Structure 1
Amino acid sequence: MSMDEAPEPGGGGAPRGGRTSAAGSVLEKSLRILEAVAAPGGPHRLAEVTAAAAVPKSSTFRILASLAEQGFVRQEADGRYGVGPRLRGLSALVSGGEPASIGRILDELRQAAGGQTVHLALHSGETITYIRKLESEQPFRTASRVGMRMPLHTTAIGKSILAHLPGTEVRELIAATGLAPRTPRTLTRAEELYAQLAEVRARGFALDDEENEPTIRCIGAAVLGPGGRPIGGVSVTTVTFLVSREEIESYAPALRAATAALAPLL
């Protein structure tokens, strides 16, 4: 019996035409749960989402867990549920934008960085998800796109996020995901990564020097939320044959100013 056919626990009766109960199919329930999570006043507690979506609590919990695993929902430290980065990325694709002030901040950073590509990403579990990309004014394009999920240890944004997470959480993430290489320059030994994260904390930015994609060099910094916990990050992306490491590091002050300005907006 598939998930769409299974009756609700204690619901009584056989499944009807692929529907789990009078509350609707799993797809219908999931959409109502997403609407409840995205409702104003969030993040919301499980009981609030259950009531707003009109879905049994056991099903709500199970669907939320699946949505959180996929990055559409984010579970906060206190157990409440908020909008996840993949849902924000989808919203940006549909609407074609975000609050004007966010776009202005990112464009100002692009101009300060000589017209290079700028990314904004949000953190969710073991990955980051790009929710905004301003293309370079230079005659080259990168493979990244809005909605793309990337590992933490290979990207400048990801490493800047790791640098601001508790050490125990970083170790748990590495144990769970490993440090798979994406290029020959990817850091695949935990000791090397820990040493680089200490440098990131000291200087306020991270560098991806062809660790995620050949010929691509990025500088990134975290956007910090309440209590100093990272919620995402911003990066400036260049190509190695046009921009030296020294030049890209010179963008650090503008990058840090952008992340500080974005923090209250995100």
Structure 2
Amino acid sequence: MPSSPEGRGGRTSAAGTALEKSMRILEAVAAPGGPHRLAELTAAAAVPKSSTFRILASLVEQGFVRIEAENRYAAGPRLRALAAQVGGAEPPGVERILADLRDATGQTVHLALHSGESITYVQKLENPEQPFRTASRVGMQMPLHTTAIGKSILAHLPTTEADALIAATGLQRRTPRTLTSAEALHAELASIRARGFAVDDEENEPTIRCLGAPILSPSGRPLGGVSITTVTFLVPREELETFAPALLKATAALAPLL
């Protein structure tokens, strides 16, 4: 009788080997001293150059790795979003940009990265003089369709990809103001594209209103976004929207760093 192709756990040995290669390449990408050249990753991961290149291409497409200058590879937004859930740090300069935005507006500022069907908060800077604190925290995952950052990301994804995410998440209602129909959400996304920013008007949490904008890659793909969070009974929507120029300046400055 021919031997079974399955190994332990019911997985094929080929699949197991491919997974192990991918994990070693990710570890090499995340190693200190990056961004790394292809030759460096090939040597560090002990994977043939052709296989390393093919796996990296897939990881780049999925957002776990990004290509920087001189064809060097660095951790992508999805990999850093995972790192944030276990206490990872952001690149130098990111916190300074967010702190400047917080100081200019006097409000809480969040940075989140796109991770599959949700966003993951990777930075939160509060104004210590504000009397109220939000429940959000670094590492928390939030829906796309209910948050200002999430809606700004959906608005800048290819339509087919946005539709797939909308169908997969089911547009769960979180407050009476949540947009739960695809038609209403698509109308909102069109408005977001036109004005450049999104507003979560108590759609994710009662009494919380946020202004959000995407951080776009050079190709125009949303990597994540930044939001300014306010309490509705302290900051009217009209005042919140006056922060849009400062927000868009911050997202533009962050784009080369993510």
Matched, 1:134 2:125: yes
Q: 1:233 aligns with which of 225, 245, 253?
A: 225
Partner of 2:13 in structure 1? 8
Partner of 2:102 in structure 1? 110
Give the aligned residue type for 2:108.
T
Within a 5 Å distance, the mapping from 1:41-120 to structure 2 comes to 41=35, 52-54=44-46, 73=64, 83-85=75-77, 87-89=79-81, 90=83, 94=87, 98-99=91-92, 101-114=93-106, 116-120=107-111
- How far apart in 2 are the matches of 1:244 and 1:234? 19
- How far apart in 1 are the matches of 2:221 and 2:95? 23
Q: 1:253 aligns with which of 221, 234, 245?
A: 245
Matched, 1:125 2:116: yes
Give the aligned residue type for 1:189.
S
- How far apart in 1 are the matches of 2:193 and 2:185? 12
Matched, 1:168 2:152: no
TM-superposed CA distance for 1:54, in Å, is 4.0
Deviations 1:155-183 (A, max 9, x none): 10011111111112111211222211122
Deviations 1:122-155 (A, max 9, x none): 1122211111110233021111111111111111
Partner of 1:16 in structure 2? none
Using the TM superposition, name which of 199-208 and 30-39 deviates more.
30-39
- How far apart in 1 are the matches of 2:86 and 2:41? 25
Give the aligned residue type for 2:104.
A
Q: 2:209 aligns with which of 194, 217, 230?
A: 217
Do the aligned partners of residues 48 and 222 (structure 1) sit closer, same or farther apart at CA in structure 2, a change above 3 Å counting? Answer: same
Calculate percent identity across the aligned residue pairs. Answer: 65
Is the CA contact 2:210–2:228 (under 8 Å) kept in the aligned structure 1?
yes
Q: 1:192 aligns with which of 181, 184, 193?
A: 184
- How far apart in 1 are the matches of 2:110 and 2:253? 15
Is the CA contact 2:217–2:223 (under 8 Å) kept in the aligned structure 1?
yes
Do the aligned partners of residues 109 and 243 (structure 1) sit closer, same or farther apart at CA in structure 2, a change above 3 Å counting? Answer: same
Match of 1:226, SS state, is coil
How many equivalent pairs are there? Answer: 239
TM-score between both structures, scaled by the size of structure 2: 0.76
- How far apart in 1 are the matches of 2:136 and 2:80? 16
Partner of 2:148 in structure 1? 156
- How far apart in 2 are the matches of 1:51 and 1:231? 29
TM-superposed CA distance for 1:121, in Å, is 1.0
Pairwise CA RMSD: 3.7
TM-superposed CA distance for 1:212, in Å, is 0.9
TM-score between both structures, scaled by the size of structure 1: 0.74
- How far apart in 2 are the matches of 1:264 and 1:95? 19
Deviations 1:91-148 (A, max 9, x none): 696466641x21111111111112x110011112221111111023302111111111
TM-superposed CA distance for 1:53, in Å, is 2.9
Partner of 2:70 in structure 1? none
Do the aligned partners of residues 185 and 95 (structure 1) sit closer, same or farther apart at CA in structure 2, a change above 3 Å counting? Answer: closer
Give the aligned residue type for 2:124.
K
Do the aligned partners of residues 171 and 6 (structure 1) sit closer, same or farther apart at CA in structure 2, a change above 3 Å counting? Answer: closer
Give the aligned residue type for 1:171.
D
Gaps of 5+ in 2: 1-5, 68-72
Is the CA contact 1:86–1:147 (under 8 Å) kept in the aligned structure 2?
no
